[in-house]
Amino acid sequence: MVIIEKALQGDPRSIARLITMIESESLSSVEIMKLIYPRSGKAHIIGVTGSPGAGKSTLLDKLITHISHSGLTIGVIAVDPSSPFTGGAVLGDRLRMQSHSLEPDVFIRSMGTRGSLGGLSRGTYEAALILDACGKDVVLIETVGVGQSEIDIMKIADTVVLVLVPGMGDDIQIMKAGIIEIADIFIVNKADRDGSERIVREVNIMLDLQGEKAWRPPVIPTIAERGDGVDSAAKAIFDHRHFLENNSEGKRRKMARLRIEVEEILKREIAKIVENAWDRQISSEVLEDLAARKKDPYTVADELLLKVISS
Ligand SMILES: Nc1nc2c(ncn2[C@@H]2O[C@H](COP(=O)(O)OP(=O)(O)O)[C@@H](O)[C@H]2O)c(=O)[nH]1
Ligand SMILES: [Mg+2]
């Protein structure tokens, strides 16, 4: 496909069109990914997550400047649970990062979370792979830290950056949700506000409680709006990349991710097959039997699965 060739050469419009094709789960998306995949695997994928309003987009905007000054090319994916067509937040993200949209080496794309419940859609990861294959050195993914997407980001990012802020209950949140385990770098943004030192202290205490680890996540105060602390954040990100490249933990993560990749594809393909079979099988008779409790849904599902497997 011409469009794939052009995208692989870095043509932004072709890259955008490829991502759209993947996002709409068109029939060709599997074929596209088969061609893309061998060219991927080089980019550093960085997930930036945290509560809405924590300052993720503001921080990303500053990070982009920082990273592109070091000569690296950047792709950005902003994932927002609201629809990409109606979401004000997405528009806000665009505006906040607009200063970069004219730079040829920075590609910015917003995506919805359609596809899986509250989490990241498979399309997000595939979009990251596309940006990777098309020559971006760094892929930044902004996700709103609500529920599953916070966990999902760990599955697709090499480096997870968690943005916390004072006065938003984030101190309590990290304790209860166990998300402390997914973060490689903690940013305490809005350090111009009261209470940020306390969060920095609390996170450090919790990290101490976890005991010795090969990578000790740094806790970095920032004032993203003014760019304060952004150089430390960028340095921490590159330190983490260096750690992954030189430590068995990096290899372990890569292997775990590859395993999940195949699992996710299997789940998606099997779900399609089974759903199609059920669509063909379903009849008012079966439903009546279920309503009258002559049959139970477990048996119906078992029978259907058996049929699918033996066909
Ligand atoms: N006081 C203060 N406000 C900030 C800082 N960083 C970002 N903001 C503001 O916080 C609001 C939310 O920022 P945004 O980047 O959209 O947050 P996101 O939802 O996490 O992407 C915006 O009005 C920013 O201007 C900061 O360091 N200090
Ligand atoms: Mg944002």
pLDDT in tens, 72-83: 999 999 886 543
The secondary element (H helix, E strand) that includes residue 159 is strand 159-164
* Ligand 1 neighbour 224 (Cβ under 6 A): yes
**193 Cα nearest atom in ligand 1:** 1
* Ligand 1 neighbour 55 (Cβ under 6 A): yes
Residue of 37, 106, 35 lying closest to 67 (CA atoms): 106
- Cβ atoms of residues 38 and 70 within 8 Å: no
What pLDDT was estimated at residue 223? 97
| Domains along the sequence of the chain with CATH | 37-246 (3.40.50.300), 262-310 (no CATH)
53 against 112, higher pLDDT: 53
Residue of 129, 81, 130 lying closest to 257 (CA atoms): 129
**163 Cα nearest atom in ligand 1:** 20
Q: Report CA dihedral (170, 171, 172, 178) to the nearest 10 degrees.
A: 90
The secondary element (H helix, E strand) that includes residue 219 is strand 219-221
3-state secondary structure of 105: coil
pLDDT in tens, 211-239: 888 899 999 999 999 999 999 999 999 99
Both structure tokens of 89: 């937040």
3-state secondary structure of 104: coil
What pLDDT was estimated at residue 98? 52
pLDDT in tens, 158-212: 999 999 998 766 555 555 556 677 899 999 999 999 989 999 998 898 888 888 8
pLDDT in tens, 260-276: 889 988 988 899 899 99
How far, in Å, is the centroid of ligand 2 from the Cα of 47? 13
* Ligand 1 neighbour 233 (Cβ under 6 A): no
* Ligand 1 neighbour 58 (Cβ under 6 A): yes
**How many whole angstroms separate alpha carbon 287 and alpha carbon 295?**
9
Mean pLDDT value of segment 101-110: 70
Within a 13 Å sphere around the CA of 238, how many CA atoms are in the beta-carbon half?
A: 11
Within a 13 Å sphere around the CA of 144, how many CA atoms are in the beta-carbon half?
A: 15
| Burial of 194: CB neighbours in 10 Å, binned 0-12, 13-18, 19+ | exposed
